[in-house]
Amino acid sequence: MEARYRHIESDLLYLLYDPHMPADLPDPIVHIPLPNPDNPYEANRHLVRPKGGHLLRPNAKPVSPFTLPKLQKIVFHSYVKEAAHNKSALVPAIAAARAISGSTREGGNIPGLSGVQLVYSRRSLPTWRLREGVAIGVKVEMRGEQMWAFLNSLIEFVIPRMRDFKGFALPTSSSSPNTPNNISGTVSVGFPPTAMGLFPQIEINFDNYPRMYGFHVQFVTDQRGKGAQDRARQLMSAFRIPFVRR
């Protein structure tokens, strides 16, 4: 386990421990009975879909020091509304994303990274006067040292200086645990435009950026299955990302 996780390993083991979880799970996915070809009644019959509207949720792995949540990558993306009619509006957002993430066009010569990328609209929306295939934002994926440097700037400089900010809202108790987001192990949080100017990489050259943009940060972990997003939030709480129940 990496040295960065050693100081929170015992806390995560305590938070994630479930005494009712069996030591070994028979199947990582909920079992679906399949037709038996040797049975003449079931032969040549169509496969019946499972009843109900819930998604099939893979079972969670038993808690151990080897199955604790791990942060795989961080995705930073920002939407620029003006870019739908003016492509030059993306230039400040691209410059800000490069400064914040430390990624160049080629990804900083780091294998597996592609640097700052443009985000294109997937479909046309007449109400927003948006056409399909138009660049409307930027995004960048961070791994390794770039990821840890970004996370350090976020928790040391940005979040503590956000005014009237108590934490990111947790889902309500009535929300369904079977949604794709809840079993993906990815935590997504949004920040207002004022938060972009709090990064030290932007603050030191604040006059070079004519406008600040709101942005989203996705923390992608290795967790999958039932309760994966809750385990991912507990990991990010250990890294001092605040969450509140509203």
Confidence at residue 184, expressed as pLDDT on a 0 to 100 scale: 82
- Positions in the chain short of pLDDT 50: 1, 28
Number of domains in the chain: 1
pTM equals: 0.77
Confidence at residue 128, expressed as pLDDT on a 0 to 100 scale: 66
CATH number of residue 64's parent domain: 3.30.1440.10
Confidence at residue 66, expressed as pLDDT on a 0 to 100 scale: 78
Give residues with Cβ within 8 angstroms of 235, minimum separation 6. Answer: 8, 12, 68, 69, 70, 71, 221
Burial class (CB in 10 A: 0-12, 13-18, 19+), 158: buried
Confidence at residue 88, expressed as pLDDT on a 0 to 100 scale: 85
Confidence at residue 1, expressed as pLDDT on a 0 to 100 scale: 42
Confidence at residue 153, expressed as pLDDT on a 0 to 100 scale: 93
Structural domain boundaries enclosing 129: 3-244
